[in-house]
A and B are shown apart, each in its own frame.
Chain A
Amino acid sequence: MRQLVSIAGVAPDRWTYLGELAGSTGSITHLIVPLAQWKNDAGEWRGRAPHIGVSVTADTPLSSLQPHLERLELIVVAFPGVSEGRGYSLARQLRERGRYRGAMRAAGEIFRDHMLFLARCGFDSFEVSPRESPDGAYAALRSFTVAYQPLRTDPPSIALKRRQL
């Protein structure tokens, strides 16, 4: 089972992607559906599993998620490369402009060097690259104990001493 890093630690991922359904047996409780497919028929998906999350690519504009935010439990943002930067701004927009309070996961080419930046932008879970160790990535969330930016999206459980303006 896939290991998922979160602010709280490393644990097996209870979510299943739609693409992983083939071949799986038993009932699915947590299902991740691409945003476009979910938008087509949100009601049908709710019948497939009690918990539904959506996945988007990092270049998705806030406007295509905004109308649905109140109904979403999980948004997965996929980073296709180590230098993809749009997902960071999208995350802050979701948290600050969209007031989205659900779970937010960064997936794809995620290495330990990204972790704290992602967490500070509002991500709370991380599906790291197959080439990265989940434990190393989790430890990297505490690679800094200080920060300059007073961000409202800072995770409270990571006690960063921040510059106050």
Chain B
Amino acid sequence: MYRYDVIDQTLVRERVAQFRGQTERFLAGALTDDEFKPLRLRNGLYIQRHAPMLRIAIPYGLLSSLQLRTLARIARRYDRGFGHFTTRQNLQFNWPKLVDVPDILAELAEVEMHAMQTSGNCIRNVTSDHLAGVAPDEIVDPRPYCEIIRQWSTLHPEFSYLPRKFKIAVTAAPQDRAASQVHDVGVHVVRNVAGQIGYEVLVGGGLGRTPIIGQVIRPFLPEEDLLSYLEAILRVYNLLGRRDNIHKARIKILVKAEGIERFRALVEEEWLAMDRAALRLTPDHIRYMQSFFEPPAYEQLPARGAPEGADAAYRAWHRYNTRAHKVAGYRVVFISLKAQGVAPGDATAEQMEHVADLADRYSFGQLRVTHTQNLVLADVRECDLPELWQWLQAAHLATPNIGTLSDMICCPGLDFCSLANASSIPVAHQIWDRFADLDYQYDLGEIEIKMSGCMNACGHHHVGHIGILGVDKSGEEWYQITLGGSASARATLGDVIGPSVPKAAVADTIARILDVYVELRAEEERFIDTVWRVGIEPFKERVYATTGEHRRRRA
């Protein structure tokens, strides 16, 4: 993984000193709330429902065991002993004290971490494929490009006061495992017919109040021009994006208003006129970044395949929580943070330390955070899997449910977030409890449930096979259901099936939807494929053509 040199290390330390000064000025009354806000946000600090919330950057989701242990220590010392992994592959602490934050950031800086630009109207933490470097289908490892973008975007003098936040995702495989098509910019590393590496660049995607799938602005950008082209896009957005209405300030609104053709013309004009040479990536620089992501020292091992005759629980875990690795004899292991009764994405300090130990023992001391709020040990020898499984079980981290219904994406919702209209975590518990029979979940196959407690869509509900959006109706929590969304290579926004349902009826409503699926599915047909084939009508009919009791509750 990338290791800080003297420039990186100096920068994070100077940033901590700067923030310490800003916090002192605020506490001394020299800065107003409004003046301090953009400063603290750029260091990941929100003022939330109960306490400040601190969001720590995990660039493209990659962590070392040392970094994870540090996060565990911070959770214990400054928070309530747990943390929450987010859909941007970051970690949030929900209970730090404002006066402690400079010290927390100083501890992070010593393990090459920071909280810069995890919030605020600037370029946010760049996200990527959690299988980068090990996925059998990838063209190249996207992480060197992610690190190049991370550095370029960090404290960028021109783009620190954008109209709104700006999210970039990078992938390098035909399967989109980073939801790149619903980002402000999606960068797809591709190879052209001549065999050269370059990028397909998408712009104007996003979720939130106005969900839009990104459009191609450049089908093939030469490898050396990545940063200048991003700079041209950002400059056009910074100058022309709306600043009068927070709900219309994202780049997707600008792209929609101008149209992709005109927006492209504006970007290309800026790009041709700007100083591109200063930002041109040299082969040496790219090779230098690639040198940090060389494959680890894999052993030559025989491929083992699926376990036979072993314990049924182990077989289920192997089937659902491990994936193919590009090197024979190795597998990718998912650590489920979606156990029954636990807030999706939460991990305790003890679990973090346990995972850090397992990463050291079984996966070259590294791990990844997925945007679906799980962890990944990417390089596990197949022969170590039974032992690893037992260690994970001991820490309640082996729930065999990756890719199933209970592997829900879920924002913190009303329980923590001051933006939320409705709770998410209790609804996740309700769904888990209703479908607690794992065999039933297995029979249903791959289903993505994604839930947000408000329109901001941190839980990606628009691109859930089943999306759940919490809404406030005269002080009561109600939930709007969408079907047919996907963030896969075929990115699609879900359709709302009808009026929202009360909180107590969410799991029942999903049960009706699943009943229809079981009745209508063709052999081996996934839920999402059935929805795409038959449309939402049959589901809608079953959900709303109901008993008097249900109707009364809806009224």
Chain A residues closer than 8 Å to B156, beta-carbon distance? 148-149
**Within 8 Å of chain B (Cβ to Cβ): is A137?**
no
Given known contacts A121-B157, A149-B157, A97 and B273 CB-to-CB distance under 8 angstroms: yes
Contact of B238 with A146 in the complex, beta carbons under 8 Å: no
**Within 8 Å of chain B (Cβ to Cβ): is A88?**
yes
Interface size on B, residues (CB 8 A): 40
Q: Residue A145 contacts which of B10, B238, B274, B285 (CB distance < 8 angstroms)?
A: B10
| Chain B, 148-168, CB within 8 A of any chain A CB | 151-152, 154-163
Alpha-carbon distance A165/B273, docked complex (angstroms): 20
Stretch from B276-284, B401-409, B448-456, B516-524 at the A interface: B276-284
Q: Residue B11 contacts which of A89, A90, A148 (CB distance < 8 angstroms)?
A: A148
Residue of B nearest to A165 (CB): B285
Residue of B nearest to A79 (CB): B161
Alpha-carbon distance A56/B161, docked complex (angstroms): 19
Contact of B14 with A145 in the complex, beta carbons under 8 Å: yes
Alpha-carbon distance A61/B35, docked complex (angstroms): 27
**Within 8 Å of chain A (Cβ to Cβ): is B7?**
yes
Alpha-carbon distance A152/B156, docked complex (angstroms): 13
Interface string of A25-44 (1 = CB under 8 A from B): 00000000000000000000
Contact of A152 with B275 in the complex, beta carbons under 8 Å: yes
Q: Residue A92 contacts which of B30, B35, B158 (CB distance < 8 angstroms)?
A: B158
Min Cβ gap B272→A in Å is 10
Contact of B279 with A150 in the complex, beta carbons under 8 Å: yes
Q: How many Cβ-Cβ contacts under 8 Å join chain A to chain B?
A: 97
Chain B residues closer than 8 Å to A150, beta-carbon distance? 278-279
Contact of A83 with B38 in the complex, beta carbons under 8 Å: yes
Chain A residues closer than 8 Å to B281, beta-carbon distance? 165
Interface string of B90-123 (1 = CB under 8 A from A): 0000000000000000000000000000000100
**Within 8 Å of chain A (Cβ to Cβ): is B39?**
yes
Contact of B121 with A83 in the complex, beta carbons under 8 Å: yes
Contact of B161 with A85 in the complex, beta carbons under 8 Å: yes
Residue of B nearest to A140 (CB): B18
Alpha-carbon distance A116/B155, docked complex (angstroms): 10
Chain A residues closer than 8 Å to B275, beta-carbon distance? 96, 152
Chain A residues closer than 8 Å to B278, beta-carbon distance? 150-152, 165
**Within 8 Å of chain A (Cβ to Cβ): is B139?**
no
Alpha-carbon distance A148/B158, docked complex (angstroms): 12
Min Cβ gap B21→A in Å is 8
**Within 8 Å of chain B (Cβ to Cβ): is A135?**
no
**Within 8 Å of chain B (Cβ to Cβ): is A82?**
yes
Q: Residue B162 contacts which of A85, A117, A131, A165 (CB distance < 8 angstroms)?
A: A85
Alpha-carbon distance A93/B238, docked complex (angstroms): 12
Alpha-carbon distance A90/B239, docked complex (angstroms): 8
Contact of A89 with B239 in the complex, beta carbons under 8 Å: yes
**Within 8 Å of chain B (Cβ to Cβ): is A86?**
yes
**Within 8 Å of chain A (Cβ to Cβ): is B17?**
yes
Min Cβ gap A112→B in Å is 8
Interface string of B18-58 (1 = CB under 8 A from A): 10001000000010001100110000000000000000000
Chain A residues closer than 8 Å to B264, beta-carbon distance? none
Contact of B273 with A146 in the complex, beta carbons under 8 Å: no
Min Cβ gap B211→A in Å is 25
**Within 8 Å of chain A (Cβ to Cβ): is B326?**
no
Interface string of B278-298 (1 = CB under 8 A from A): 111110010000000000000
Chain A residues closer than 8 Å to B280, beta-carbon distance? 165
Contact of B238 with A89 in the complex, beta carbons under 8 Å: yes
Contact of B238 with A88 in the complex, beta carbons under 8 Å: yes
Contact of A147 with B155 in the complex, beta carbons under 8 Å: yes
**Within 8 Å of chain A (Cβ to Cβ): is B235?**
yes
Chain A residues closer than 8 Å to B30, beta-carbon distance? 131
> What are 22 contact pairs spanning A and B, CB under 8 A?
A83-B38, A85-B161, A85-B162, A85-B163, A92-B235, A96-B274, A96-B275, A117-B160, A131-B30, A143-B14, A143-B17, A143-B18, A145-B10, A147-B11, A147-B157, A148-B7, A148-B155, A150-B279, A151-B157, A161-B10, A163-B7, A165-B279
Interface residues of A (CB under 8 A from B): 61, 82-86, 88-90, 92-93, 96-97, 111, 113, 116-118, 120-121, 131, 143-152, 161-165
Shortest 10 CB-CB contacts between residues of A and residues of B: A85-B161, A120-B157, A117-B157, A148-B151, A88-B158, A146-B7, A146-B10, A89-B238, A96-B275, A144-B14
